[in-house]
Amino acid sequence: MELKLKEVLMQKSWTYKFESYKSFFEYVKIINTVFNPQISVIIISWRLHPNTIITLKKLFQQKENYNIEVIFVDNGSKINEFSDFYSFVDNYIRLNQNTGVSISRNIGAAFSSSPVILFLEDDGIPDEELIASHLCSHLKFNAHSVRGVCLPLTNNLLNEKQTHYFRGEHFFPFYANLEGNTSYNAKVFFEVGGWDDDIKYGGEGKALSIKIWEYSPDISKQIYSPISIIYHDYASNHERLKEKLIQQKRSFDYLSRKYSVWNKYDELWLELEGNVSTLKETDLWKSDSNLQKEYDDLKERVKRRNEANLLSYMNGKAFLHETQKIKEIINKFQEKRRISIFGAGEYGGRVYENLLRQGIDVKYFIDNDLSKCGDIKSGIPIIKPSSLTKEHFILIASSWFFEISEQLEKMGYRKNEDFLIVI
């Protein structure tokens, strides 16, 4: 079996990874040979999750329309724990221990044979046209990476604690910080060395994006796709969320030392968020009206199917790049109420500068840090929350938006009517 691993690594010009990978690799079971697949889907798992079989069945259904290669990596589970999956996967790879996310994904990718590689969560259920959306996006934009969307699977309140799962209804340049729903141009993926093998969990998408950016500085080829959707919860409970954040923090600290651009990398993308005009369509796309029609129909079906979920997700929120939407909301209140920003930190400053460019008059900053209260920021007074009245309309601009929202609701303020979260 080591010879098979060595063979596929050689084909990908990854021979240098063999010594590291061979100690984890037990075997590969070729259940079904897929000739000339359009896309390879890699799923890794170390424990049996009830959503995984649903995910595999959803992918199997999409095989009716697309030539899909499904590769499942058993990342050190109990023996025969995944035996029920065999009929839904093409390649089954067994590792002898939990290697973390990067090595297992890379080993799975090494056995792929298509021009596009899609990585999925083992507990994230794909939209019924997920494969079509990723393939269509690569045809339209000649992309290095296509980062999709994650919508809540259940009504778990913890889903409200994140802001990166959905970033709006338009395509625009954005790096892949949603690793469990991102596809890559296979040639680019292998040339940059794939996922960083040193990462066990957290930040691996950003690290891979940095490697792609160093390989090709054209960031318009790293793309956010609003039509590529999976359904997945942010965390199942508070304990799992706490554990997740601790793991991520540990990894981010390490990566900030490893990659010199880590702490400044997000700034490359800020001005491009929501900006469709910076993307470059392929010549094939421009000349093929059938492809364009197929995309338009697909986009409409995905939007219609997920409309209620999206409306619920965005209730009381607006993206910073949605300047027109924010302006329309504020214009309802500007003459009668004092526009105030809750959050006197760096992000609050960004929101203020954005509003200033729109000609919106901000009266106050608000902050829970009482040591800031009484100070001036950008010529605007900082006040404490107890100074608020119903004369204020509040824009929450803080990473603590969830807690601030709850705080304001307890004070009698209503989402949409008295405050809006800017993400």
pLDDT tens, per residue, the chain with 423 residues: 788 999 999 999 999 999 999 999 999 999 999 999 999 999 999 999 999 999 999 999 999 999 999 999 999 999 989 989 999 999 999 999 999 999 999 999 999 999 999 999 999 999 999 999 999 999 999 999 999 999 999 988 888 888 889 999 999 999 999 999 999 999 999 999 999 999 988 899 999 999 999 999 999 999 999 999 999 988 878 888 888 888 888 999 999 999 999 999 999 998 888 888 899 999 999 999 999 999 999 999 999 999 999 988 899 999 998 888 888 888 877 667 899 999 999 999 999 998 988 888 899 999 999 999 989 999 999 999 999 998 999 999 999 999 999 999 999 999 999 999 999
The Cα-based distances of 127 to 67, 162, 228 in angstroms read: 17, 21, 8
Residue ranges of domains in the chain, CATH in brackets: 2-278 (3.90.550.10), 317-422 (3.40.50.720)
Residue 30 CA to residue 71 CA, distance in Å, equals 10
pTM of the entire predicted model: 0.92
pLDDT of residue 156: 85
CB-based contact 118:41 (threshold 8 Å): yes
Rounded Cα distance between 6 and 178, Å, is 30
Per the CB < 8 A criterion, the answer to whether 149 and 226 are in contact is: yes
The whole-number pLDDT of residue 334 equals 63
pLDDT of residue 271: 83
Q: Which residues contact 368 (CB under 8 A, 6 or more apart)?
A: 384, 385, 400, 404, 407
Cβ(320)–Cβ(347) under 8 Å?
no
